[in-house]
Chains A and B, each alone.
Chain A
Amino acid sequence: MMAMSVAILLILSACSDEFLDINDNPNEPVNPDLELLFPTAQVAYSTVIVHNTRLGDLGTLGQVYESTDSQYNFTGGTFDNAWDEFFTLALVNLEQIIASAPEAGLVAHGAIAKLQKAYVFATIIDIWGAAPFDEAVNGEFAQPMWEDGATVYPKILALIDEALAELGGLAEGDPVPSSDAIYGGDVDNWIKMGNTLKLKMFINLANAGDASAVSQIEALANGGNLISSNAEDFEFLYGNTLAPETRHRWHQVHYVATKTYYMSNSLMSRMIGERTANGESFGVQDPRLRYYFYRQLTDFDPTSTNAIVPDDFPCFGYGARYEDGTTWQTVCAYGYQGNGYIGRDHGDGTGIPNDGGARTTFGVYPAGGLFDDNSAKTVAQSDGTGAGVVPLLTYSMVNFWLAEANLLYGANTGSTAEDHLREAVASHISKVLAFPATAGVSTDPTFEPTQAEVDEYVNTVIAQFQTPDTSRPLLASAEDIWAAQFQISLFGNPVEAYNLLRRTKLPVALTADIAPNSMAIIPVNTYPRRLPYPQDELNTNPNAIRQSETPWESTPVFWDTQAYPTRFDGN
Chain B
Amino acid sequence: MRYNSTQLTSSGHPLSLVKGIGIFILTLLLSVQVWAQDSSISGKVTSAEDGSTLPGVNVIVKGTSQGTVTDIDGNYRLNVPEDAEILSFSFIGLEAQEVEINGRSIINVEMAADTRQLSEVVVTAIGIEREKKALGYAVSDVEGEAIQQISEPDAVRGLTGKIPGVNISGSGGGVGSATNITIRGNSSLLGNNQPLFVVDGVPFDNSSNRSNDDFRQGNPQSNRALDLDPNLIESITVLKGASAAALYGSRAANGVIVITTKAGKAGSKKGFEVTVSSGVSVEQVAMNPEYQGEWTQGATFGSNNFVFNNGFFGTWGPRYDDVNRWLNAGVNDKGEDFSVAPPLRKYNNPNRPDLFAADIYPQISEAPTQVLPNTDNWENFWQDGVLFENSVTVNAGGEKTSLTAGLSRTDNEGIIPFSELDRTSVSFGGRAQLDNGIFVNGSVTYVETNQRTAQQGAEIITGAAAGSSLISMLYLLSPTYDLTNNPYVNPRTGGSIYYRNGFDNPYWVSEFAPINSEVSRAFGKAQVGYDITDWLTVSYQAGFNTYTDRRSSLVPANGENIPAGQYTVDDIFREELDGNLLITFDKNINDDINLRAIVGHNVNQRTFEQQTIIGTGVIDRSITNIVNTGSQVMRRDLFEQQRFQAVFADLSFSYRDYLFVNAVARNDWSSTLPTDERSYFYPGGSFSFVPSEAFNLPNFWNYFKVRGGISRVGNEATPYLTQNTFVINDNVGFQDLNAQFPFTNGNGSFNGVNANRRQANPELSPEFTTEYEAGTEMRFLDGRIGLDFTYYDRRSTDQIVAIDVPNSTGFGTRVTNLGEVQNRGVEIGLDLTPVNLPNGFRWNIYTAFTRNRNEVLDLGDLEQVVVDGFAELSIVHRPGFPAGQILSQDWLRYNEETGEVGNVGVPLVNANSGKALENPDLQIIGDPNPDFLVGVTNTISFKGITITALVDYQHGGDMYSHSADQMLSRGVLNDELVTDRTPVIAATGFIGTQSGPTLDENGNLQPTNVIIPRNDFVFFDGWAAGGVDWHSVYDRTTIRLREVTLGYTLPASLLDKLPFGSANITFSGRNLWFNAPNFPSALNMDPEVSGLGVQNGPSQGLELMGVPTTRRYGVNISLTF
Interface residues of A (CB under 8 A from B): 1-4, 6-7, 10-11, 14-15, 17, 19-30, 32-33, 36-40, 43-44, 47-48, 51-54, 71, 73, 75-77, 80-81, 83-85, 87-89, 91-93, 95-96, 131-132, 135-139, 141-144, 179, 181-182, 184, 236-239, 241-246, 249, 252-253, 256-258, 260, 305-309, 311-312, 321-324, 349-351, 353-357, 377-378, 380-381, 387, 438, 519-520, 522, 524, 532, 534-542, 544, 546-548, 551-554, 571
Contact = CB atoms under 8 A, between A and B. Distances in A.
B876 A237 contact: no
A87 B807 contact: yes
Interface in B277-329: 298-299, 301-305, 307-309, 311-314
Contact of A242 (B500, B631, B641, B804): B631
Contacts, number: 389
Contacts of B754: 37, 40, 89, 93
A405 to B, nearest CB: 32
Interface centre among B311, B745, B805 (most CB of A within 10 A): B745
A26 B725 CA distance: 10
Nearest to A133: B808
B501 A357 contact: yes
Contacts of A92: 755, 810-811
B463 interface: yes
Interface stretch (B164-172, B613-621, B1071-1079): B613-621
Contacts of B673: 23
A57 to B, nearest CB: 10
Contact of B641 (A22, A354, A538, A541): A22
Given A43-B752, A141-B809, A524-B910, A3 B302 contact: no
Nearest to A535: B871
A252 B743 CA distance: 15
Interface residues of B, number: 142
Given A75-B889, A88-B812, A312-B311, A23 B671 contact: yes
A354 B311 contact: yes
Contact of A84 (B349, B746, B807): B807
Contacts of B639: 26-27
Interface centre among A7, A243, A244, A305 (most CB of B within 10 A): A244
A179 B750 contact: yes
B734 A43 contact: yes
Contacts of B880: none
B747 A89 contact: no
A186 to B, nearest CB: 11
22 contacts: A10-B579, A10-B603, A30-B726, A36-B726, A36-B752, A37-B754, A43-B739, A53-B465, A76-B872, A81-B736, A132-B806, A144-B809, A243-B632, A243-B740, A245-B740, A257-B501, A306-B339, A351-B299, A380-B354, A524-B913, A540-B864, A548-B921
A29 B734 CA distance: 18
B126 interface: no
A246 B631 CA distance: 12
Contacts of A252: 738
Interface centre among B675, B870, B912 (most CB of A within 10 A): B912
B757 A75 contact: no
Interface in B706-730: 719-720, 722-728, 730
A520 B302 contact: yes
A136 B810 contact: yes
A-B pairs, top 10 by smallest CB distance, nearest first, are A258-B502, A354-B311, A77-B871, A92-B810, A3-B528, A244-B740, A243-B616, A541-B806, A28-B725, A137-B810
B1016 to A, nearest CB: 8
Given A83-B807, A245-B739, A548-B919, 20 more contacts: A7-B540, A20-B644, A51-B738, A76-B871, A84-B807, A84-B812, A87-B807, A89-B754, A142-B814, A237-B747, A245-B738, A245-B740, A256-B502, A311-B309, A312-B311, A356-B502, A532-B920, A535-B922, A542-B862, A548-B920
Contacts of A141: 809
B312 A353 contact: yes
B103 interface: no
Nearest to B806: A541
B1070 interface: no
A23 B733 contact: no
B808 A137 contact: yes
Contacts of B304: 323
Nearest to A131: B808
Contact of B301 (A48, A242, A323, A537): A323
A349 B502 contact: no
A4 B751 CA distance: 52
Interface centre among B351, B528, B726 (most CB of A within 10 A): B726
Contact of A87 (B301, B499, B724, B810): B810
B617 to A, nearest CB: 6
A518 to B, nearest CB: 9
A1 B438 CA distance: 9
A530 B355 CA distance: 43
Given A243-B614, A519-B302, A22 B752 contact: no
A353 to B, nearest CB: 5
Contacts of A238: 745
B887 interface: yes
Contact of A88 (B302, B757, B872): B757
B309 A244 contact: no
B806 A28 contact: no
B920 to A, nearest CB: 4
B672 interface: yes
Contacts of B641: 22
Contacts of A244: 631, 633, 731, 740-743
Nearest to B343: A354
Nearest to B918: A75
B301 A571 contact: no
B725 A25 contact: yes
A539 B804 contact: yes
A14 B671 CA distance: 11
A308 B346 CA distance: 9
